[in-house]
Amino acid sequence: MASVPERAWRAYLVRCGDGSLYAGATNDVKRRVAQHASGRGARYTRSRPPVVLAWRSPPLDKRAAHRLEARLKRLTRAEKLAITERRATGLLRRLLAASRQPLALASSSAQRA
């Protein structure tokens, strides 16, 4: 098994004071959540304190973490809650697998024709 760099990237979900969930990606979850909590994070979280970490992914490379973040942002609230409550192992497994795959080019089938 390949070793994971000390500053590996992770996608994460934070729970905001209004109950909403915000998805992000970083190579230092503790620092980034502290930024969100102190009002120096994303504009979305600045207006919804307090902010607490609800979930973080296993270590990933930078590209995979950002792909996973994008996929998390597209999930429904119920799906995000299921992930934070550890009830969505199948969904999470699919998201992680997809985030590790290269993005398919939309024009690739047209080029084969």
pLDDT of residue 111: 40
Q: Which percentage of the chain shows pLDDT scores above 90? A: 80
Q: How far apart are CA 60 and CA 64, in angstroms?
A: 6
> What are the pLDDT digits (tens) for 12-60?
999 999 999 999 999 999 999 999 999 999 999 999 999 999 999 999 9
More confident residue, 111 or 64: 64
Domain ranges within the chain, ordered by starting residue? 10-101
Neighbours of 84 (CB within 10 A): 15
The domain made up of 10-101 is a member of CATH 1.10.3470: no
Sheet of 21-26: strands edge to edge? 21-26, 10-15, 52-56
Q: How far apart are CA 12 and CA 29, in angstroms?
A: 8
| pLDDT band at residue 112 using 50, 70 and 90 as cut-offs | very low
| pLDDT band at residue 109 using 50, 70 and 90 as cut-offs | very low
Q: How far apart are CA 65 and CA 63, in angstroms?
A: 5
Cα 38 to chain centroid distance, Å, stands at 20
Neighbours of 99 (CB within 10 A): 23
Say yes or no to pLDDT of 1 above 80.
Answer: no
